[in-house]
A and B are shown apart, each in its own frame.
Chain A
Amino acid sequence: MLPAFHVNLHGSHERRPCKFFIYDMGDNTKGAYAPDQRGYYGRFGGAYIPELLRPCVEELRRNYEQITNSPDFESEFKQLLKDYVGRPTPLFLAERFSEHYGVKVYLKREDLCHTGAHKVNNTIGQILLAERLGKKRIIAETGAGQHGVATATVCALKGIQCIVYMGEKDIERQAPNVKRMKMLGAEVRPAMSGSRTLKDATNEAIRDWINNPADTHYIIGSVVGPHPYPDMVARFQSVISKEMKAQLKEQTGKENPDAIIACVGGGSNAAGAFYHYLDDLDTRLIAVEAAGLGVDSGETAATSVIGSEGIIHGSRTLLMQNAEGQIEEPYSISAGLDYPGIGPLHAHLIASGRAEAVSITDEEAIKAAFFLSRQEGIIPALETAHAFAAMDHIKYGSDDTIVINLSGRGDKDLGTYIDYFDKYVGK
């Protein structure tokens, strides 16, 4: 087992020694919030999957820890995160933003990752895993297209066939990302079943995997799905909080901030930003969900508020469902938060009181996006804008240090932002 934080300027088993941080894989297997043997976080998680899917999931479960802990894997993972993704991403003290709120706010700049969001941390990890499992074909689901693009990217990097399932409705709504995936060589297959959005694209990807167990790996995009996915994806994203600790130490003298704020759809960027702080109870964890038009409007994605316990995509967690257990379609202006469930880790963190949940409406998120743009010269993704808007809802002391995980950049959302120019920019 590697030490908790491992700086190695003369790495002996590195292909080329990194000059800066050297990442080890997330290791929280013994913490109070680590999953148990069956993949449960408290009462959430597990693997509720048909027997047909079991061989695929079992192969992964049996091998993922061994592979991701191997020196060969770690070495290539670190190298790609550094040279291809551009890590470490900066931790930036947002001075004008801080001044406005009267509290020190640091931004973890995941928007500066290759492809424009944190998603690629996970797809890099999973493509390396797939290679080592001998898989020749990659499938993925995508909603807004960010995870699809991040998957198509790593498949191009490795020359592996890539098929991305995307709801028929989302294909219409997110045309530029469909084109990006195609330019990267991926095949985009429309999910025509159910509500023809993200949850159905996920179902289609799972069905594809059932039908192609031998040669295919499914790169899931968030900390959702059957065990071991929530744990595995959280580990790949844990590099975010690993870097945060070192950077905060360097810049403030203290590893732990008073609070970390991150948006949650399925919850992968939040899982990464929280991961190494889960057992540090002096750091508040704030999970920001999309309220859509309002939590009581019927048009929302605030799963922890209006959801209930159940099973979605093979995981026991909180989800939006009707009295019959039929899964309901969420709504948010941000396609990345438009998911009817929440990862089992987050369900556990919220249910146990370790994390605070905040719900932000479309309107509040849009306002926060324009504010951050003017205040710091950073246009955030719509998803990320929800995390910034949470500043208006949480309590803090003036001596506090807060980190907001700036999970993605806003280029992809310009079309939506333009609709609000009259209100926030002027004609």
Chain B
Amino acid sequence: MNGIKKLFETKQKDVLNIYFTAGHPGLHDTGTIIKELADAGVDLIEVGMPYSDPLADGLTIQQSSSIALKNGMKLDLLFEQLMEVRKETDIPLILMGYFNQVMRYGPEKFLDACQAAKIDGLILPDMPLYEYEENFKEMFESRNIAISFLITPMTEEERILKIDKLTKGFIYMVSSNSTTGGTASADDERLAYFKRIEGMNLKNPRLIGFGISDHASFSAACAHANGAIIGSAFIRALQSGSDLRQSIRDFVRHIKSPVTAH
């Protein structure tokens, strides 16, 4: 069974999904980061494939991508690293990147490599729905790889229903109209959006992302969805700490429980 599907069968609340950029901070940190996150009790991990032109991403993820590319991260190396770490953990893994990377690598070859590394899902924010529906759906489904599409506060209801139909893993709810790492929009506006989507009774689980950075924002998101996704805040934590493992453990602990004031 697909790892994401399996996860949501056993856990419907407070699902924590952490994003990091592969190749950052160090070229060979991929395995360490995944294992530490899994040990720390994270439910899902989103592995970013660094890209030269990450349109949907804010400064923090852009910079981590630039560093990863400078470090020499390449897809073949990433797949090797993922095959290796798969020997030690079966935590659901999602690859996140841009459509051009998949096109250039060759969609079949890319999905075969994903399948070999037991990748559970993909997020390709700039892949049009019709491309998926008309050209890739079969390719994904035959390999049991789940696709997650994004919705925003401005996505129309009809389109949300279509996305719900096509989505196989979870729906990625963007908390506000902004690039990653931004601040969330006004609380009441956000709340209205969360509740509206909650009321649609979609078949897929929902994870809220963008602007989630600490225990408070994580809890608030979890109140109206199955969980939340954290990216930029985690990358900043990796950059500020001196010991990679310690930074990861501390970060996850602080997300899961309120920070005690010193």
Which residues of A are interface residues toward B (Cβ below 8 A)? 38, 46-55, 193-194, 199-200, 203, 206-207, 210-211, 213, 308-314, 321, 323-327
The minimal Cβ–Cβ distance linking A62 to chain B, given in whole angstroms, is: 12
Please report the C-alpha to C-alpha distance between residue A206 and residue B55 in the assembled complex, in whole angstroms: 7
Among residues 51 to 82 in chain B, which have CB atoms less than 8 Å away from a CB atom of chain A?
A: 51-53, 55-56, 58-59, 62-63, 66, 69, 74-75
Query: Which residues of the partner chain A approach B103 to less than 8 Å between Cβ atoms?
Result: 309-311, 325
Query: Which residues of the partner chain B approach A49 to less than 8 Å between Cβ atoms?
Result: 55, 126, 128
Q: Which of A38, A207, A309, A321 contacts B55 (CB 8 A)?
A: A207
Instruction: Report whether A193 and B126 are in contact in the complex, using a CB–CB cutoff of 8 Å.
Output: no
Q: Which of B59, B149, B155 contacts A193 (CB 8 A)?
A: B59
Interface centre among A46, A51, A53 (most CB of B within 10 A): A51
State whether the Cβ of B127 lies closer than 8 Å to any Cβ in chain A: yes
Instruction: Report whether A194 and B177 are in contact in the complex, using a CB–CB cutoff of 8 Å.
Output: no
Query: Which residues of the partner chain A approach B136 to less than 8 Å between Cβ atoms?
Result: none
Q: Which of A47, A51, A312 contacts B53 (CB 8 A)?
A: A312
* Contact residues of A: prevailing secondary structure: mixed
Instruction: Report whether A325 and B100 are in contact in the complex, using a CB–CB cutoff of 8 Å.
Output: yes
Please report the C-alpha to C-alpha distance between residue A48 and residue B104 in the assembled complex, in whole angstroms: 15
The minimal Cβ–Cβ distance linking A39 to chain B, given in whole angstroms, is: 11
The minimal Cβ–Cβ distance linking B223 to chain A, given in whole angstroms, is: 23
State whether the Cβ of B182 lies closer than 8 Å to any Cβ in chain A: yes
Instruction: Report whether A194 and B155 are in contact in the complex, using a CB–CB cutoff of 8 Å.
Output: no
Query: Which residues of the partner chain A approach B174 to less than 8 Å between Cβ atoms?
Result: 51-52
With A194-B52, A324-B75: A207-B179 Cβ-Cβ less than 8 Å: yes
Query: Which residues of the partner chain A approach B56 to less than 8 Å between Cβ atoms?
Result: 50, 52-53, 210
State whether the Cβ of B152 lies closer than 8 Å to any Cβ in chain A: yes
Query: Which residues of the partner chain B approach A321 to less than 8 Å between Cβ atoms?
Result: 100, 104
Q: 4 shortest A-B CB distances, which residue pairs? A: A325-B104, A50-B56, A50-B125, A55-B154
Instruction: Report whether A326 and B52 are in contact in the complex, using a CB–CB cutoff of 8 Å.
Output: yes
Please report the C-alpha to C-alpha distance between residue A325 and residue B103 in the assembled complex, in whole angstroms: 8
Query: Which residues of the partner chain A approach B126 to less than 8 Å between Cβ atoms?
Result: 48-50, 311, 314
Q: Which of B51, B69, B125 contacts A51 (CB 8 A)?
A: B125
State whether the Cβ of B151 lies closer than 8 Å to any Cβ in chain A: yes
Least CB separation from A193: chain B residue: B62
The minimal Cβ–Cβ distance linking A273 to chain B, given in whole angstroms, is: 29
With A206-B55, A321-B100: A51-B150 Cβ-Cβ less than 8 Å: yes
Query: Which residues of the partner chain B approach A207 to less than 8 Å between Cβ atoms?
Result: 55, 58, 179
With A194-B53, A324-B105, A325-B105: A51-B149 Cβ-Cβ less than 8 Å: yes
Instruction: Report whether A324 and B182 are in contact in the complex, using a CB–CB cutoff of 8 Å.
Output: no
Query: Which residues of the partner chain B approach A325 to less than 8 Å between Cβ atoms?
Result: 51, 98, 100-105
State whether the Cβ of B178 lies closer than 8 Å to any Cβ in chain A: yes
Least CB separation from B210: chain A residue: A52
Least CB separation from B130: chain A residue: A38
With A50-B125, A311-B100: A213-B53 Cβ-Cβ less than 8 Å: no
Q: List 17 A-B contacts (CB under 8 A).
A: A48-B99, A48-B126, A48-B128, A48-B131, A52-B150, A54-B154, A54-B155, A193-B59, A194-B53, A203-B55, A312-B53, A314-B126, A324-B74, A324-B101, A325-B51, A325-B102, A325-B103
With A210-B178, A311-B126: A50-B104 Cβ-Cβ less than 8 Å: no
Query: Which residues of the partner chain B approach A47 to less than 8 Å between Cβ atoms?
Result: 128
Instruction: Report whether A53 and B55 are in contact in the complex, using a CB–CB cutoff of 8 Å.
Output: yes
Please report the C-alpha to C-alpha distance between residue A70 and residue B174 in the assembled complex, in whole angstroms: 36
Instruction: Report whether A310 and B155 are in contact in the complex, using a CB–CB cutoff of 8 Å.
Output: no
Query: Which residues of the partner chain A approach B152 to less than 8 Å between Cβ atoms?
Result: 51-52, 54-55
Instruction: Report whether B105 and A46 are in contact in the complex, using a CB–CB cutoff of 8 Å.
Output: no
Instruction: Report whether B104 and A310 are in contact in the complex, using a CB–CB cutoff of 8 Å.
Output: yes
Please report the C-alpha to C-alpha distance between residue A194 and residue B58 in the assembled complex, in whole angstroms: 12
With A311-B126, A326-B69, A327-B53: A52-B179 Cβ-Cβ less than 8 Å: yes
Give B83-107 as 1s and 0s: 1 = Cβ < 8 Å from A's Cβ atoms.
0000000000000001111111100
Q: Which of A48, A193, A210, A213 contacts B66 (CB 8 A)?
A: A193
Query: Which residues of the partner chain B approach A199 to less than 8 Å between Cβ atoms?
Result: 53
Query: Which residues of the partner chain A approach B127 to less than 8 Å between Cβ atoms?
Result: 48
Please report the C-alpha to C-alpha distance between residue A200 and residue B65 in the assembled complex, in whole angstroms: 14
Instruction: Report whether B58 and A323 are in contact in the complex, using a CB–CB cutoff of 8 Å.
Output: no
Please report the C-alpha to C-alpha distance between residue A170 and residue B96 in the assembled complex, in whole angstroms: 31
Least CB separation from A214: chain B residue: B177
With A50-B150, A310-B103: A326-B51 Cβ-Cβ less than 8 Å: yes
The minimal Cβ–Cβ distance linking B158 to chain A, given in whole angstroms, is: 13
Least CB separation from B102: chain A residue: A325
With A52-B174, A207-B179, A310-B104: A194-B62 Cβ-Cβ less than 8 Å: yes
Please report the C-alpha to C-alpha distance between residue A309 and residue B102 in the assembled complex, in whole angstroms: 12
The minimal Cβ–Cβ distance linking B197 to chain A, given in whole angstroms, is: 14
Please report the C-alpha to C-alpha distance between residue A47 and residue B103 in the assembled complex, in whole angstroms: 15
Query: Which residues of the partner chain B approach A193 to less than 8 Å between Cβ atoms?
Result: 59, 62-63, 66
Please report the C-alpha to C-alpha distance between residue A55 and residue B66 in the assembled complex, in whole angstroms: 28
Instruction: Report whether A310 and B177 are in contact in the complex, using a CB–CB cutoff of 8 Å.
Output: no
Query: Which residues of the partner chain B approach A326 to less than 8 Å between Cβ atoms?
Result: 51-52, 69
Among residues 138 to 187 in chain B, which have CB atoms less than 8 Å away from a CB atom of chain A?
A: 149-152, 154-155, 174, 177-179, 182
Please report the C-alpha to C-alpha distance between residue A193 and residue B152 in the assembled complex, in whole angstroms: 25
Q: A324-B75, A325-B105 are in contact. List 4 more A-B contacts (CB 8 A).
A: A51-B150, A52-B177, A193-B66, A311-B103
Query: Which residues of the partner chain A approach B55 to less than 8 Å between Cβ atoms?
Result: 49-50, 53, 203, 206-207, 313-314
